[in-house]
Amino acid sequence: MTATLENEIELEFQPHQFDAMWADAPYVCLATGLGGGKTWAGARWILTRAIEFPDSLHLVTINSLPQAQDVVVPELDRAVEDLGLEFRWESKRQRPNLYVYTGDRWAEVRVRSTWHPDSIRGPEYGSWWGDEVRDAGREGLLVAMGRLRCKKVDVPRYRWTTTTNGHDLIWERHKKEATLERTYTDERSGKDVRIWRGKNQKRLLVQAATDVNRFVHEDYTTLLEENYDPELARQERDAEFITLGNLVYYAFNFARNVSDSVRYDPAGGLIVALDFNVEPCVATIIQEVAGETWVVGEISMEGGGTSAVIAEFQRRFPGRIGNMAPVIYGDPSGTR
């Protein structure tokens, strides 16, 4: 489906992208599986808004510096290049501002983190694109909603693009009291696209699986199936709102997953899986033995954050610090 801007530039959207970005509702969430084409759509939507309403400020929210550097800013670059417009970036204190020349003036798009809500406060925005809202700071989202009130646009609007994550703020605003308005089947993948209308009519949810994106290779969707158990695959691939009912390890089976044979090998390699939550900050100590994954220790520290976990690791595993060649693997989601 094609969207034509006032300057005669045409953008080609896939149906699920078009239904979300060009919906009549002011508040729309495009929820897809991983690789569903949501970031591509969000970047082009916010730029079209900036071009159409250059007198207003426009907001993009991210949740981490790596997400901005590796995903959102490069996608905005590609989008503005697709539009064939002159642009420049300015940044102070890791707060990037994108300026796009519309022919007679510069439109401004600000990129801010939901985990630093003070960076969002102050200005009024006419448009807001929130990427991967499931990883966002709740306070930052609420601040952005409060600042979305600039009168220099037709109607203040937001577009959230995200994969789902249980019964969170996305579910509360866009699914909890929504009614299924329309369903259609993507002919290529055979997957349904569902459109939900909120109780107050101003909110819309477009829900689509990864497979609906025609640019995703089938090997990628197969990889998702292999990496996630069926329950989580419904979330990560099919964009379903899955709640695990307060279970931390919902797939854990005591008889299958606990063994008296597990022993710590002082000479063996160690894997430290660290969750950077502040309260508590936790880590799991793992060793790979004969093709099995053995959890040989768990650390959970209230207060002190990462430094406290490191100190506890030194106490429990003396001699390991400074005597290893560490290999660090970052969070694959890029959110931490």
- Please tell me the predicted confidence (pLDDT) of residue 336: 40
For residue range 151-196, list pLDDT tens digits in order: 999 999 999 999 999 889 999 999 999 999 999 999 999 999 999 9
List the domain boundaries for the chain. Answer: 2-236, 259-316
Instruction: Provide φ and ψ at 98, rounded to 5°.
Output: -105, 130
Low-confidence spans in the chain with pLDDT less than 70 = 1-9, 244-256, 276-279, 320-336
- Please tell me the predicted confidence (pLDDT) of residue 224: 86
For residue range 275-320, list pLDDT tens digits in order: 766 668 888 889 888 888 888 888 888 877 888 888 898 888 887 6
- Please tell me the predicted confidence (pLDDT) of residue 133: 97
Pairing assessment for the beta strands 95-101 and 106-113 based on DSSP bridges: antiparallel
> C-alpha angle with apex 234: 243 to 330, nearest 5 degrees?
85
The reply to whether CATH 1.10.10.60 applies to domain 2-236 is no
- Please tell me the predicted confidence (pLDDT) of residue 334: 44
Nearest CA to 210 out of 231, 191, 229 is that of: 191
Q: What does the alpha-carbon distance between residue 59 and residue 126 come to, in Å, rounded to a whole number? A: 8
